[in-house]
Each structure stands twice: as structure tokens, then as C-alpha cells.
Amino acid sequence: MTWSTADIPDLTGRRALVTGATSGLGYETALELLRHRADVVIAARNPVKAADAARTLTAKSGKEPVVLELDLADLASVARAADEVATADDRLDLLINNAGVMAPPYRQTIDGFELQLGTNHLGHFALTGRLLPLLLRTPGSRVVTVSSFMHRTVTGIGQEDLRRPADSYRKWEAYGKSKLANLLFMLELDRRARAAGADLMSVGAHPGYASTHLQAAGPELAGRPLQARVWGTASRLIAQSAAAGAWPSLYAATYADLRPGSFVGPSFLEYRGIPKIVLPTRTAQDPELARRLWDWSVDATGIGPVLTVPA
């Protein structure tokens, strides 16, 4: 199979929201969507960085994005952002759940959850739930949830992981579980949407190994600038570009013949290259575990009936 961003169709009239769009994969995803004439909302925690990103995106694409303040580690911020999106327009064609944190020192979200699961999974779970009525009103809408091949490094997840205490925290294990949670959520949303006959597609993507700021963010939070520089240099030497890392997300968001529940990654050993359909682990495909995670997430976020796709 061959594919490039030139194969993305004209997206005039379609509205997209991309989380974590100030740099890296999210920025590159937003840029290509703008280049193909989508109306793009870029959601980010830091309004200064978001404004800077919007200016460069406009200069490169010729089309200006809308900036949305969103902190996925704060459920109140998620609620405010979702309300703003829902009241600004009557449609949402694409929700790309891209933002994330990777392997930071132990932190908790505003609401007391372990930071990686709280941000990477629960924040996106709550955002998707609050935007689901808008997505369901939009014919042919898609939710793209960005995971990682690091989901392969863990063999399960439990409700206790959501509020994992500092004394049992292992940063890479927590990251792997957050990425497993992304896939469990993506596939459960797909099952529920199809069972309800909803005109909504839930799909997943992962970038392989792409050079983004994500690799250095954890050491920076830990106050280790030298380690952050080493990570950054190594990534630039051996990883594919952030633009190439965004290809699976763009393919998942725009490829017309994609099947619901598909998981898209790079073609060469899932490390780099053009997008292709890849397989999650058996654990990620476990429907009972996905149902339990859904229920735990409803309990954690308070997003209940809104996340039940109407029959």
C-alpha cells in the first residue's frame, strides 16, 4: 500500500478538534488538516504556546485555527472546553485525542489521579463523553485515539491504577497502562457505537517512534535538563520526524474505507514508514476488561449517561 498526505481529501466544511496541538504529533496533524481546508480547533493547556502555534499554523497553511484552552489533567477544564466547543458550532466531524504525557516523575492530576492515566486516558474519556452528543449529531463523525506500541509492555490494568500511590509508582509501567487504556477505550467506544447503530467511527493510531518533545518532557519535569537534552538528541538521530509520526493519525482520521475499530501504525516493524493497519495485543482486545475500564472511568470522571450511546 502507498499513501501520503496528498491522498487526504478536501476537508472543506468539516470541523476537527486536535488535543495537544502546540507541538509534535498534534501540531503536524493540525497542520495537514488545515492544509486540506478543515476548520480546526487546537486544544492545549498553555494559552501562550497555543497562540504561538496558531500563528505558525496559519502562516504555513493559509488557514487560521481556533484556539481552545484545555487541561486534560483537570476535569473542570475538560468540562469548560467541551461546553465551549459544543456552543460554538452545531457539528464536530473529527475528534483526535492526541495529547499526552510520558514517563514523568510521580504527579497527580487536579482531581487526584495518577498523572499519566489521568491525562492520557481519563481526560480524553471525559472530553469524548462530553462531546459525544455533538459527534452523534454530525453524520460520519470519527474519534481517533492515539496510543503507542508501549501498550505492548503491560499485561493488564486495574481500577487501583487510576489512583496509584507514589510508593508503588513506576513511570514506564504507568505510561504503558495509559496507552493500553487508550486502546481499550477506543475499541469499547467502537463496540457501543456499532451496537447502537450510531453513525460514529472509533479508531486508533500510534506514531511508531517519532521525534517529539514528549521524550524530553519527563526528564524536564524531574529537573534533569541533561537527561532531557540526551533524549532530545537521541530522538532526532534515530526517530522519524514528527510529521511522519502524524501520518497514522491523519490516515485514521481521513481514509474513506477504514473499518470501525481499526488501529493504524507505521508499516516498517511499527517503527516508521507509511501507515498500515496493525493489531493491538490480546489484552487490548479484551472486551470484558474494556467494559470494566469504561465503568471505572465513569465512576472516576462522573461522566455517566452521556457516554452511553443511545439505542
User: Which residues lie below 8 Å from residue 164, measured CB to CB, with a gap of 6+?
Assistant: 114, 117, 174
To the query of whether residue 255 is one of the catalytic residues in this protein, the response is: no
Q: At 142, is the secondary structure helix, strand, or coil? A: strand
Give, as one character, the DSSP assignment of residue 259.
Answer: P
Identify the active-site residue in 77, 141, 147, 178: 147
Cβ atoms of 178 and 120 closer than 8 Å:
yes
Q: Which of 27, 106, 175, 209 is catalytic?
A: 175
Look up 179 and say whether it is catalytic.
yes
Active site residue 241: no
* Secondary structure element (H or E) that encloses residue 166, with its range: none
Q: How far apart (Å, rounded) are the C-alpha atoms in residues 158 and 152?
A: 16
> Helices marked H in 105-170 — which ranges?
115-116, 124-136
Among candidate residues 141, 177, 178, 179, the one labeled active-site is 179
Pure H helices in the chain: 24-35, 47-61, 75-88, 115-116, 124-136, 171-196, 214-221, 225-238, 242-245, 247-254, 287-301
Q: Which residues are catalytic?
A: 147, 175, 179
